[in-house]
Amino acid sequence: MNIEKNIRDDHQAELTVEIDPEQMEAAKRKAARRLAQRGKIPGFRPGKAPYDMIRRHYGDEAIVEAAIDLLVDDLYPEILKQAEVDPAAPGSLEKVESFDPPKFVFRVPLAPTVDLGDYLSIRVPYEWTPPGEKELDEALDNLRQMYASTKTVEREMQEGDYALISVVGEKQGATEGEDQSELSRENTAVVVRPEDKQSDDEWPFKGFARGLIGMKPGESKTVTHEYPEDEEDAALKGATVVFNATVKSVRAVTLPELNDEFAKTVSEQYETLDQLKDFMRADLEAHARAEYDDEYFNKVLEQIREGAAIKYPPQVLDHEGEHVLGELSQRLASQGMDLETYFKVRNTTREKFMEDEVKPAAANRLARGLILDEIARIHKVNFDEAALTEEFHQTLNELAYQGAVDFERLNKSGKENQARFSSAVATQSANRLITRRTLEKIKSIALGEWKPEDDEPKAAEAETGPGEAAPASEVREETVQASGEESDAETSTNP
């Protein structure tokens, strides 16, 4: 067997394979026998007709086609081995170049490759600061709003009121077909906050509700707003939008006093207001750190990506794109919407949406994942059995807290379902652990703290390598059977 290998620009291998004529002839006779066994040739028992009779009955074309299928099945693994090709997905027979000699052309998508470049020289400072008293006060105000009592009034809107409004927004100079659905809302609630307690997250812009002060139920008002050039929503950067707001109802708000009794109302676990504040402060810090970490690691990974050479075939990107679309479909389904309806609302088609939004998102996610995998490989990122067990329990606790799994039903579902669930949670726990430790490694590199000796495995990790899954799986099975808890969990990328 003679093989010519050509690596294409799209990271696929084109293999021109020439085989011995004797192999082709043997495959044709084998294919003919199989055809004869499946059908009936007059005058012969199934599979007993001579080769020439089978040729006359089925024709050379059918025999050759079946012979090629047999050859591909038999020879393809050896072709990949001899050509030293590491495939990312199944290859395809592109054409039969000739029959004399038998010559076939295959196209094989290659496994992704990553060259990280000089990533060890990247430096990005980590400058997170915890939320202050202002953020805590805002969170407490929001909590008081949740426990406030309201009363419908017919007077003009005042500071502190809660109102139900409808808003229709129109972007000036919008292109034909541009989606503006996010600029309008029907029966949305707003709270008129004091000047010094405005929220940056207020919709459609900060201070919008205060602009409605003085309006009565049934009245409408037109407001023109110019968004800044640094607006987070790319579609609104520097845009001018005209909003028409109609007040549906106004409710006066009476806020509860901020004291120990209020803390007890929020939860029985709080005896004093200070205890509630301590919990909220810790919660604010956790969310703020997670948000900062997302921005930080995105920045570091983007710098690594700029200096890296990442190659993958189109099939791998398509596969990732299907994952992105599938996740979107699941999120929409939870909101009672399907993809086709979503495309109509967005005034787009599946093809355009895939090209404009899904493919770029998939490419970014694919590059990020490949970079993380390569760094984990280079730096021998690992974990021991104890760490996996702890992560497994943490995942179960999160699922229980979120109410994401019906554990009572799971306990009654049988050992097979429990084992499947256990395996899914264990796999997700391992992925989370590896991702978090890889990000910790990236952070140490970006801060200039990493040293080669840091990659040497600790004593416990040296005893239980990444390929030794059996002990960990035993721990996982015992854990699930004892707790009756299992689930799919989302990957966390925060260290």
For the chain, counts of helices (H) and of strands (E): 15, 11
Mean pLDDT of all residues belonging to the chain: 88
Selection from 48-57, 61-70, 193-202 with the highest mean pLDDT: 61-70
Which residues are CB-contacts of 309 (< 8 A; sequence separation ≥ 6)?
113, 114, 115, 117
pLDDT class of 487 with cuts at 50, 70, 90: very low
Task: Let me know whether 209 and 291 are in one domain.
Answer: no
Task: Let me know whether 13 and 71 are in one domain.
Answer: yes
Who has greater pLDDT, 48 or 207? 207
Task: Let me know whether 28 and 155 are in one domain.
Answer: no
Q: Classify residue 346: in a domain, yes or no.
A: yes
| CATH code, 50 | 3.30.70.1050
Cβ(493)–Cβ(297) under 8 Å?
A: yes
Task: Let me know whether 405 and 459 are in one domain.
Answer: yes
Cβ(200)–Cβ(194) under 8 Å?
A: no
Task: Let me know whether 245 and 301 are in one domain.
Answer: no
Which residues are CB-contacts of 405 (< 8 A; sequence separation ≥ 6)?
399, 485, 486, 487
Q: Classify residue 117: in a domain, yes or no.
A: no
Mean pLDDT of the region 29-42? 83
Q: How far does CA 409 lie from the centroid of its chain?
A: 28
- What is the pLDDT, as a whole number, of residue 461? 54
Q: For the chain, percent helix, then strand, then coil, each to nearest 5?
A: 50, 15, 30
pLDDT class of 366 with cuts at 50, 70, 90: very high
Mean pLDDT of the region 135-148? 92
% of the chain beyond a pLDDT of 70 = 92
CB hemisphere CA count around 418 (13 angstroms): 19
Is the pLDDT at 58 greater than 90? The verdict is no
Q: Classify residue 455: in a domain, yes or no.
A: yes
| CATH code, 153 | 3.10.50.40
Lowest mean pLDDT among 287-291, 367-371, 474-478: 474-478
pLDDT class of 179 with cuts at 50, 70, 90: confident
Q: Classify residue 268: in a domain, yes or no.
A: no
- What is the pLDDT, as a whole number, of residue 180? 87
Task: Let me know whether 103 and 153 are in one domain.
Answer: no
Question: How many structural domains is the chain composed of?
Answer: 3
Is the pLDDT at 352 greater than 50? The verdict is yes
Task: Let me know whether 310 and 458 are in one domain.
Answer: yes
Is the pLDDT at 147 greater than 70? The verdict is yes
Q: Classify residue 8: in a domain, yes or no.
A: yes
pLDDT class of 38 with cuts at 50, 70, 90: confident
- What is the pLDDT, as a whole number, of residue 51? 84
Is the pLDDT at 491 greater than 90? The verdict is no
Which residues are CB-contacts of 269 (< 8 A; sequence separation ≥ 6)?
275
- What is the pLDDT, as a whole number, of residue 46? 72
Q: Which of 58, 89, 111 is the last residue of a domain?
A: 111
Cα separation of 48 and 40, whole Å? Answer: 10
Lowest mean pLDDT among 70-79, 103-112, 124-133, 371-380: 70-79
Q: Classify residue 208: in a domain, yes or no.
A: yes
Q: Which of 58, 83, 111 is the last residue of a domain?
A: 111
Q: Classify residue 416: in a domain, yes or no.
A: yes
Residue 243: give the domain boundaries: 149-254
Mean pLDDT of the region 8-31? 93
pLDDT class of 454 with cuts at 50, 70, 90: confident
Q: Classify residue 129: in a domain, yes or no.
A: no
Who has greater pLDDT, 78 or 468? 78
| CATH code, 361 | 1.10.3120
Task: Let me know whether 288 and 394 are in one domain.
Answer: yes
Task: Let me know whether 201 and 320 are in one domain.
Answer: no
Lowest mean pLDDT among 35-44, 76-85, 102-111, 141-150: 35-44
Cβ(85)–Cβ(13) under 8 Å?
A: yes
Task: Let me know whether 198 and 159 are in one domain.
Answer: yes
Cβ(380)–Cβ(462) under 8 Å?
A: no
Q: Which of 213, 237, 254 is the last residue of a domain?
A: 254
pLDDT class of 488 with cuts at 50, 70, 90: very low
Task: Let me know whether 429 and 337 are in one domain.
Answer: yes
Three-state secondary-structure class, residue 308: coil
Task: Let me know whether 175 and 215 are in one domain.
Answer: yes
Residue in 422, 413, 438, 435 with CA at minimum distance from that of residue 389 = 422
